A = this chain, B = another copy of it.
């Protein structure tokens, strides 16, 4: 598994079953971001499952959502007993929706993240200290451009498919406008063409919660206490938007936590309070507050219908051969089905080949992360019908 990028270093390779783990970097070159800033070196952490075919034509790129990482399936060699597998384990494996006996599946931690790829918590080689807010603001376009460099490095010039949900779905669409000749099949899930005012509002609340934490120190907290309380509140906001009214009624209702009656105080009374506090406190152990700031902002900037040249829009890819499957969930109120329909309409206006499906589910936006054979079958069938692999 070596590619044409001679300067790239590979490290951390380890395998369990069909899983591999690499790190890609490009020192001393600089990466020029969409806003004109430069960054280097850039490290992109990624994992792969399955085998790249001799013709290098069976790759499927999985783009993760805002708090995800490259560990989309399987286990790490040093996982303790009982560890959870990667975040899309039900989708990736032999015979699964992304069948690793046929496809070479790749997932990379996004630029700006905090799980191995370069982000605000990475050390700026010019200063020897973490970037913090000196990290340049990246866009979804920049994220996709680093993924393109990774594919160059792997010697892959055409993707059989690119798939992802939420912010991952934005990357899917961005791939199609940036590199339309490199994609055969695109599956954007639970996502949008342009971030809505409601979605921006929730992201802004999450950011304000972090920036209100005095431990944030305008992003310079890496040598001291982290803004954990602010980050936890931000995560709670996210979690509510990922669920639905129906799912929360079913999952929690008004059930009390370990109590027969109300506390008449500010400790946890209801299970839903306990759930949110737990999710918030768990998140701060694995995620960097500055990464949340950057990634939410990149999502807010995302608009494939209207943006400044030279960034391409959906209108610029008329006539390309990509086949699209646009998937939404009936109870997703963060990226509702009407926004999936906007994607479909825009693609059709560009004369593209589009199928779409709304999956009935009461789980809200998070539904794409929950084991559901309907999604697996839909994706498997769609990829199977694409010529070339």
Contact = CB atoms under 8 A, between A and B. Distances in A.
A214 B214 contact: yes
Interface in A222-251: 229-230, 232-233, 236-237, 240, 243, 245, 248-249, 251
4 pairs of A and B residues whose beta carbons are closest in the complex? A212-B229, A197-B248, A137-B264, A197-B252
Interface string A7-37: 0000000000000000000000000000101
- Taking chain A's interface residues, is the majority helix, strand, or loop, or is none over half, making it mixed? helix
A68 interface: no
Interface of A: 35, 37, 133, 136-137, 194-198, 200-202, 204-205, 207-209, 211-214, 229-230, 232-233, 236-237, 240, 243, 245, 248-249, 251-254, 261-262, 264-266, 269-270, 272-273, 276-277, 280, 293, 297, 300-301, 303, 308, 333, 336
A6 B266 CA distance: 37
A197 B251 contact: yes
Contact of A200 (B201, B266, B272): B272
Contact of A197 (B137, B194, B249, B333): B249
Given A197-B252, A197-B253, A212-B232, 11 more contacts: A197-B272, A200-B270, A200-B273, A201-B248, A204-B236, A204-B272, A204-B277, A208-B236, A237-B237, A245-B333, A270-B300
B254 A197 contact: yes
A303 to B, nearest CB: 6
B196 A245 contact: yes
Contacts of A297: 266
A312 to B, nearest CB: 17
A254 B212 contact: no
B212 A265 contact: no
Contact of A240 (B205, B211, B301): B205
A197 B247 CA distance: 9
A103 B301 CA distance: 52
Contacts of A237: 205, 237
Nearest to A280: B208
Contacts of A272: 197, 200-201, 204
A58 to B, nearest CB: 37
A338 to B, nearest CB: 9
Contacts of A208: 232-233, 236, 276-277, 280
A293 B308 CA distance: 44
B261 A308 contact: yes
A120 B136 CA distance: 45
Contacts of A209: 209, 212, 233
